[in-house]
Amino acid sequence: MRILALSLLVRCILAVVPCLAPSLAAAKPPPPPFSSCVNLSNALEAPIEGHWGYTIRAEDIKRIAEAGFDAIRVPIRWSAHTEASPPHLIDPALFKRVDEVVAQGLSAGLKVIINVHHFEAFSSEPSRHAPQLAAMWEQISKHYTSAPDDVIFELINEPNDQATAQFMNRINQLLVTVIRETNPKRWIIFGGAQWGSLGGLLESLPPKARRVIASFHYYDPFSFTHQGATFVEPMQPAGKPWGTNAEHRSIANDMKRAAAYGETHGVPVLLGEFGVHITTKLEDRAHWLGHVRAGAEENGIGWCHWGWAAEFRMFDAENDVWIAPIRDALIRPNLEQN
């Protein structure tokens, strides 16, 4: 043991490998509290629900549960319904709507993740907006203090720009402290900087607390997953295929790196978003999704597909039909195993 510790220390000093001192003490991470989840994208993340083409429906939540998924992630733009100046009160109408969706998820037997999504001002000027973020979490935590454990909090979606890894370490710790005052045991999901990417997570430290989950988002290669997405500048040209041996290896390798983070820090790991834009050939979408899902599962990582009924969809909400190859790439292999 001494020799191992010494050789690690030397290697750290020589900076041949990153310093992994905490891993010596780390316990095997507990499994994530859910395994297969769907993001209810483009609904409550829009400034007003419905303005981005989808409003969450109770029957969709039931469908998700019946297909075999065990959780939904509900992206919510709280900042659009919160006073910009102190005390930063959240509009009760938004709470009422989120309560409805949470109740629908719980009664379908799903875990329900609620997050803070699209707080873009925070990433541009994190010090200035941190008090608002903390005030929002204080109110959300109080509101859900008596909710069942199946309601899970996620601190903030995809911090980027000025919200650096170092800054996020401090703010994540602060938010967890705020939440723990009213929710001593609830699972809390945190992510890193750089748009919540794997790179961002690997640079971050988990908040010091029990029952926290490390999350990362995975859209690599971006030129494949985001081809044709009009919100990306410059727009990535359509027609990009995926599936070389090197590309397969790259996914396997990335999932191992994510799992290693969990082992190092003794926390469960979640792939909180992964998906492919609908411009992409359906067969290629399903192929990539199946590989990423399998790679996550092989490494004990829970996952959450982006998304339900919008641009990265798995369900056609206009005609009320599943996009079967996408659903099957995600959930069928699990159902067949059981």
Q: Is 49 in the site for ligand GLC (CB under 6 A)?
A: no
Q: Is 303 in the site for ligand GLC (CB under 6 A)?
A: no
Q: Where are the beta strands (DSSP E) in 141-225?
A: 151-154, 188-191, 212-218
- Tell the smallest beta-carbon distance from residue 122 to ligand GLC (Å): 13
- Tell the smallest beta-carbon distance from residue 316 to ligand GLC (Å): 18
- Tell the smallest beta-carbon distance from residue 246 to ligand GLC (Å): 24
- Give, as ranges, the residues between 116 and 155 that touch ligand GLC (CB under 6 A): 117-118
**Residues 6 or more apart from 52 whose CB is under 8 A from it?**
42, 43, 45, 46, 310
- Tell the smallest beta-carbon distance from residue 121 to ligand GLC (Å): 14
- Contact of 167 with 128, CB cutoff 8 Å: no
Nearest to 231 by CA among 322, 81, 74, 118: 118
Give CA–CA dist 33/249, Å, rounded. Answer: 28
Nearest to 274 by CA among 36, 85, 14: 36
- Contact of 158 with 148, CB cutoff 8 Å: no
Residues in the chain: 338
Give CA–CA dist 89/82, Å, rounded. Answer: 5
- Tell the smallest beta-carbon distance from residue 258 to ligand GLC (Å): 17
Q: Is 306 in the site for ligand GLC (CB under 6 A)?
A: yes
- Tell the smallest beta-carbon distance from residue 87 to ligand GLC (Å): 27
Helix residue spans in 17-164 (DSSP H): 21-25, 58-67, 92-107, 120-124, 126-143
Nearer to ligand GLC, 118 or 313 (CB): 118
Q: Is 158 in the site for ligand GLC (CB under 6 A)?
A: yes
- Tell the smallest beta-carbon distance from residue 50 to ligand GLC (Å): 16
Give how many residues touch ligand GLC by CB under 6 A: 6
Nearer to ligand GLC, 118 or 285 (CB): 118
- Contact of 241 with 281, CB cutoff 8 Å: yes
Nearer to ligand GLC, 60 or 273 (CB): 273
Nearer to ligand GLC, 196 or 302 (CB): 196
Q: Is 297 in the site for ligand GLC (CB under 6 A)?
A: no
Q: What is the DSSP code string of 249-304?
A: HHHHHHHHHHHHHHHHHT--EEEEEE---TTS-HHHHHHHHHHHHHHHHHTT-EEE
Binding mask 194-233 for ligand GLC (x = CB under 6 A): ----------------------------------------
Out of 273, 291, 296, 314, the only residue in the binding site for ligand GLC (CB under 6 A) is 273
Nearer to ligand GLC, 147 or 310 (CB): 310
Give CA–CA dist 222/291, Å, rounded. Answer: 16
- Tell the smallest beta-carbon distance from residue 306 to ligand GLC (Å): 6
> Interface with ligand GLC by CB under 6 A: which residues?
117-118, 157-158, 273, 306
